[in-house]
Amino acid sequence: MAGRIIVVTSGKGGVGKTTFTANVGYALAEKGYKVLLIDGDVGLRNLDVLLGLERRVIYNIMDVITGRTELSKALVKDKRVPGNLFLLPTSQTKFKEDIPEEAFVNIVREARDKMGFDFILIDSPAGIEYGFRLAAKPAEEAIIVTIPEITAIRDADRVIGLLDNYGIEKRSLVVNRVDIAEVKEGNVLSPQDISDELSVKLLGIIPMDKIVTEATNEGKPVIVLEKERGKATLAGKGFMSTAERIIDENAPLWDPVEEYVPSSGGILGFFKNLLGGSGR
C-alpha cells in the first residue's frame, strides 16, 4: 500500500488542529505504522511543542528546501515510538511565502516514495490563504477538524469548498472539544448534526476533557499521559478510535453522545445537581 498523504485543516484557528495531528499521529505510530508529521504552520511553530520535542529541533523544512541538509537528517525522531514517529519541523523565522509550492510537494513525495512512510499528516495553518493552499497541495485526503460552534463550522464549510480545487475528494470530519453532557441537554450541536450539515462523513469525536491541556503542558500525547496515570480518559479514547478509523474506514464510529449516562448517583452527583446540573 502506498503511503497516505493527509492534510489536517479547519479554516478557523484555535479549534485544536495541531493537538489533533499530534495525538492521532502518535496513536497511528503506536499501532505500528510509520508516521511523518509535517508542521505546515510556517512562522508559528507548534507541533514540536505539543509532542515535547522542541529541544530536539535542529533543522527545519527551510534547511531542506535550501539544501543545507537532507530530508532524513531534518526529521526529529520521537523516541517513545522508535522508528515509527517522525516530525518535520517548520521554520519560525521565515514566512509561508518563502516556501515554493513545488519544493514542498517534492519533499512530501520524497518522504512517501523513498522513506516508506505509511501516513504523512500535514498540519495546515488556520485560514484559507497561501499556507492552507501549500498544505493542501500535496495531499490526497483531508481531515477537517471543527468544534461545535457555528462560526467554526461555517469556516470548515468554506475550507471544504476549497478542497474541490485541489481534487481532494476523500474528506472526513472530526468534531473536537465536544461537551457530551451539553449535547445531551440540547445546548450544543451534536457531531452527527454537524456532519449532516457539512455533508462530510464523521470520522471521529473528541470529547472535551481537561487531560488535553495537561498533556499539552507536559509535552506528551494524551494517550501517553493517561497510560502513565493508569486511567483511561474520554479524549484518549476519542483520539485512539479516530486513529483506528483512519486505518480502516469500516471500523465503527465511537459515539460518546450515545454512550453517555448522566452521573446522578452519589453525593458528588447530588451536589452537581444542586449547583444547577452543570456537572461535567
Partner 1 sequence: MAWWKSLWKNKGKKSADIAKERLHVMLLHQRGLLSKQDLESMEKDLIEVLSKYLDINPGEIEFEIKKVDEKYQAISFIIPVTSKK
Q: Does 153 bind partner 1 (CB under 8 A)?
A: yes
Nearer to partner 1, 126 or 188 (CB): 188
Q: How far is the CB of 139 from partner 1 (least distance, A)?
A: 22
Please identify, using beta-carbon distances, which residue of 99 and 198 lies nearer to partner 1: 198
Of the residues 188, 208, 235, 240, which one makes contact with partner 1 according to CB under 8 A: 188
Q: Which of 141, 132, 120, 178 is closest to 159 using CA atoms? A: 132
Residue 16's region, left for phi above 0, alpha for psi from -120 to 50, else beta, is left
Site for partner 1 in 21-80 (CB under 8 A): none
Q: Considering the rule CB under 8 A, would residue 189 count as an interface residue with partner 1?
A: yes
* Residue of 80, 154, 170, 227 that binds partner 1 (CB under 8 A): 154
Sheet holding 170-178, edge to edge: 76-77, 85-88, 35-39, 119-123, 4-9, 141-146, 170-178, 202-207
Q: In angstroms, give the least distance from the CB of 175 to partner 1.
A: 13
CA distance 61 to 18: 17
Question: Whose Cβ is closer to partner 1: residue 140's or residue 197's?
Answer: 197
Which residues ranging from 228 to 267 are in contact with partner 1 (CB under 8 A)?
none
Each residue 192-211 as x (binds partner 1 by CB under 8 A) or -, in order, gives -x--xxx-------------
Residues 6+ apart with CB under 8 A from 94: 42, 43, 62
Q: How many angstroms separate the CA atoms of 50 and 207, rounded?
A: 18
Spatial distance between the Cα atoms of 225 and 232, rounded to a whole number of angstroms: 9
The 165-184 site mask, x for binding partner 1 (CB under 8 A), equals ------------------x-
CA distance 126 to 10: 7
Q: Widest CA span of the chain, in angstroms?
A: 64
CB of 146 to partner 1, least distance (A): 11
Q: How far is the CB of 156 from partner 1 (least distance, A)?
A: 10
Q: CB-based contacts of 178: which residues, under 8 Å, 6+ apart?
A: 147, 148, 188, 191, 205, 206, 207, 208, 256, 257
- Work out which of 73, 158, 210, 280 binds partner 1, going by CB under 8 A: 158
Q: Give the residues lining the site for partner 1 (CB under 8 A).
A: 150, 153-154, 157-158, 161, 183, 185-190, 193, 196-198
